Structure 1
């Protein structure tokens, strides 16, 4: 088992020492309040320790060499810019909803980029980061499955800004360039092009990207403009058509890159799930105690 902590080990050590001190103080009070209080102290302490272990990111496979200070460079940074406006709820002539096609295409593209890190930026009239850049595809899968068209006035066809995600994408690319300087950046834009919109449209001024495509599920004119802004090919998604396949330079880090490492299986999610379960139990017991105390105060005569 290897570790790839989200914070420097020294910081995690300081947090661990502080936690031990605080829980030791709480232990004195719990020990004098009976077995139930001591049991609750134990479950809360275990939950906190599990979160610390999760922050150390245990896993199997290669990790960053201790003291190197450099993130892993294997694989590409892949950004999915997804149109979740009312237009994505439309059903095309083949009887399939556009959003359903988008989810299917995203799943296929994830498979086509093994070892990559992925991010999901959704938009309608405004952008939102649905999934920050991460190589955890196991947790990403349910996020993609849950992508549905937004509801409400801000998602209406007349209010859609096809370039709403431009600034968010630009800053994400800048951050990725600083964190993963040797990794290629790929952008896949999936949208309808806001053909009925009456609001000003944003412009993608992100600088050059290393690959990807603009995948069209509706009006082509605006989408071709976006493809030109990003320097990417435009691909109209039709029935039975294959997605563009990334070449080897796009799909992975540069050959021979000394920072590149083998894939790594993360286990942090198991520790966070256990911690969440223990904390939910504590929240339930605390809420029950508060309700009982309130009921007791009401019963006491004034």
Structure 2
């Protein structure tokens, strides 16, 4: 089951709980069976409306689109610094901006296949190269930084060998496809070793970008435990003060040079100018009729049930109004 909520789930609860409580009170005070069933219907309408706003769906759908013969590999920093709170004037976590930019990349290359590599102490292939964008979105929703207690320092190049292996696999496939790499991170090297080089991937890369997140002033990072405890976690401390994560643009420029792509510092309000797909994949190879993964939307079924319950509620209200008017007319005639 996949959810793509229109509103934050917390806001949905704020909306739903009072309505259900009031309806439950009305249900408890009703004695007539018909009236009790009406309150049950009202509770059902509230639940159905909340379901619609959650936009549930099932993976496995598909949509016809342009096939660009391009494979895009996303390399994402998921260390504690990825949630450093220095994005924008309201100090949002960097990961919020990263996820938004990844969505922009997906929108920029419709029909492309995508793969997701995340890294902290180790690199992990979260999503092997696929045209199923629903799987990618689900993986992005689940991107969280490593547990603070397990953090032992991270090399910003730890994903380099895995990236090269993934690019080699794509190159050795039977179909010739363009290859793009996008690296999302802050360039902060916290391991004692020298960062691994991405140079071996340059000859396998046809385009992409290195995108940097963070500020010179740095941002505080909250602890992560891997559990849901319902409250705001305390900040990570160093020598009795909140630890700060500071962007290292020199390291990010080095990674861009090794990959042979452009580097850009991301800033709030600045539109992301993404490169064109490789010319070898758009000249005579793009075709219509391809399919990419989408969710099978379930909310229309909830909407249909809601419409039916609303129709019953309106019919009951109209019948009650007619009875009241007839009663009023009868009372006038008696006087």
The bucket for the TM-score relative to the shorter chain is 0.5 to 0.7
Correspondence list, 1:111-260, <5 A: 111-156=107-152, 159-179=153-173, 181-204=175-198, 205-208=200-203, 209-217=205-213, 218-249=247-278, 253-257=281-285, 260=287
Once residues 195 and 102 of structure 2 are traced to their aligned partners in structure 1, the CA distance between those partners, rounded to angstroms, is: 24
**CA separation of 1:268 and 1:102: change in aligned 2, threshold 3 A:** closer
Contact 2:74 2:114 in 1 (8 A): yes
Contact 1:74 1:262 in 2 (8 A): no
**CA distances 1:237-291 after superposition (whole Å, capped 9, x unpaired):** 11111112221536x824223x855221559999xxxxxxxxxxxxxxxxxxxxx
**CA separation of 1:166 and 1:254: change in aligned 2, threshold 3 A:** same
Once residues 212 and 165 of structure 1 are traced to their aligned partners in structure 2, the CA distance between those partners, rounded to angstroms, is: 16
Structure 2 counterpart SS, 1:222: helix
Contact 1:82 1:121 in 2 (8 A): yes
Report what 1:264 is aligned to.
291
Once residues 77 and 174 of structure 2 are traced to their aligned partners in structure 1, the CA distance between those partners, rounded to angstroms, is: 27
Report what 2:97 is aligned to.
101
| Structure 1 residue ranges without an equivalent (≥5) | 1-56, 63-71, 271-302
Structure 2 counterpart SS, 1:148: coil
Once residues 232 and 189 of structure 1 are traced to their aligned partners in structure 2, the CA distance between those partners, rounded to angstroms, is: 10
Structure 2 counterpart SS, 1:162: coil
1:206 CA drift (Å):
1.3
| Structure 2 residue ranges without an equivalent (≥5) | 1-59, 214-246, 298-335
**CA separation of 1:183 and 1:196: change in aligned 2, threshold 3 A:** same
Larger CA Rg, structure 1 vs 2: 2
**CA separation of 1:144 and 1:109: change in aligned 2, threshold 3 A:** same
1:213 CA drift (Å):
0.3
How many residue pairs end up in the alignment? 201
1:199 CA drift (Å):
3.0
Match of 2:71 among 50, 56, 77: 77
Once residues 105 and 125 of structure 1 are traced to their aligned partners in structure 2, the CA distance between those partners, rounded to angstroms, is: 23
Where is the strand percentage greater, Structure 1 or Structure 2?
2
**CA separation of 1:264 and 1:97: change in aligned 2, threshold 3 A:** same
